[in-house]
Amino acid sequence: MTTAVLLKQVSRHFGLIKALDNIDLEVGPGEFFAMLGPSGSGKTTCLRLIAGFEQPTSGRIEIFGEGVEGVPPYRRNVNTVFQDYALFPHMNVLENVCYPLMLKKLDKATQRREAEAALELVKLGGYGGRRPGELSGGQRQRVALARAIINKPKVLLLDEPLGALDLKLREQMQEELKALQKTLGITFIFVTHDQGEALSMADRIAVFDQGRVMQVGTPEEIYRRPQSRFVADFVGSSNVMAPAFVERIVGEKRWASLRPEAVRVSAAGGAAAALTGTVVAKSYLGSTTRLAIDLDGTRIHAAVPSGDNVPAEGARVSLEFDRDALHLMENEG
Ligand code: ATP
């Protein structure tokens, strides 16, 4: 199988800062791939290396099997959608979308036909005559998308594409972006620091931290089987349990993660429950309520269905969970 984008032992240093530190990545053709990580973890640098706006300090990058060292961005068969959309304010929507074809010196009729088709794809048919200033944030985002796909790139790079939108619109655009990717069948690589967005949209996710790739996997693998404390903590809101505590429960001295929704809580006092604690905080989240429970100094969070049976702050409670839900990670140290 060919690989759409391959990074082999790629580093990018800025003086003493290791923005990327010896990373390996493989993105398949037609994949919707997310690069997820906290601010400063190296995601954007990685995207810019693939786009060709930056050069690696060391390592090799291939796009569809060809090394791209020294190949400028416009000759890479990739296109980028920037977070600020980078539209030309003095041009109307149609002219903005036509721009890449104008650079290629295609005839005017073809430019117009292709631009109109691209605008239809992003559900902006009929908006060609407007200026970017006359559009909403979501509409501007779609114009940027139309302009990026008009050249039919093999790989579309998206840098926090939904970052500027409010929550409702974000959710709508997440669905639309996924649908658009399916229709086009091209590889999408998008950068986000929003774990919910990565989990809901991506086929696979690479989790970045401090210039390194900590784990690559499907959303389910990343969420349910994190390989490190960092991934468990960053993706979702896991209970990360220390080795001494885990040893008490399962007899192995390893770090472990436990998702709050896997914890069952009941009033203390039943049969010799293994774990008993005190509810120290309670937050109502709509369909679930989040409890912070203190077990002799270890804090465990549980997400329980909201309702009358939720214990009050200060209540003594028993905790239970299936052994399978406790995911063992690295050894102590
Ligand atoms: P964010 O989500 O905040 O955009 P990021 O994960 O995309 O963060 P990068 O922008 O890739 O992170 O930055 C990684 C590190 O490299 C940071 O410490 C950043 O300050 C540094 N860095 C990035 N570009 C440059 C540059 N041109 N010169 C110096 N340092 C840089």
Q: What ranges do the domains of the chain cover?
A: 5-233, 239-328
Nearest CA to ligand 1 atom 26: 14
CA of 184 to the centre of ligand 1 (A): 31
Is there an atom of ligand 1 within 6 Å of 19 CB?
yes
Instruction: Identify the segments of the chain with pLDDT beneath 70.
Output: 1, 269-273, 332-333
29 lines ligand 1 (CB under 6 A): no
Residue nearest to atom 29 of ligand 1 (CA): 14
Ligand 1 mean position, distance from CA 176 (Å): 29
At 54-111, the pLDDT tens digits run 999 999 999 999 999 999 998 899 999 887 778 898 999 999 999 988 888 888 888 8
The residue whose CA is least distant from atom 31 of ligand 1 is: 14
Indicate which atom in ligand 1 lies nearest the CA of residue 42. 11
Residue-level pLDDT at 270 = 57
Tell me what pLDDT residue 287 has.
92
Summarize pLDDT for 211-243 with one digit per residue, the tens. 999 999 999 999 988 999 999 989 877 899 889
Indicate if ligand 1 lies below 6 Å from the C-beta of 14: yes
DSSP 8-61: EEEEEEETTEEEEEEEEEEE-TT-EEEEE-STTSSHHHHHHHHHTSS--SEEEE
Fold of 5-233: Rossmann fold (3.40.50)
Q: Whose C-alpha lies nearest to ligand 1, atom 15?
A: 19
Q: What pLDDT, on the 0 to 100 scale, is given for residue 163?
A: 78
Q: Whose CA is nearest to atom 18 of ligand 1?
A: 40
**Res 156: pLDDT:** 95
Q: What is the pLDDT of residue 252?
A: 87
Cα 96 to its chain centre, rounded Å, is 28
Kindly state if the Cβ of 76 falls inside 6 Å of ligand 1.
no
Judged by DSSP in three states, 113 sits in helix
pTM for the model: 0.86
- Which CATH number describes the domain made up of 239-328? 2.40.50.140
- Is the shortest distance between the CB of 192 and ligand 1 below 6 Å? no
What residues are paired with 205 via a beta bridge?
Answer: 34, 217
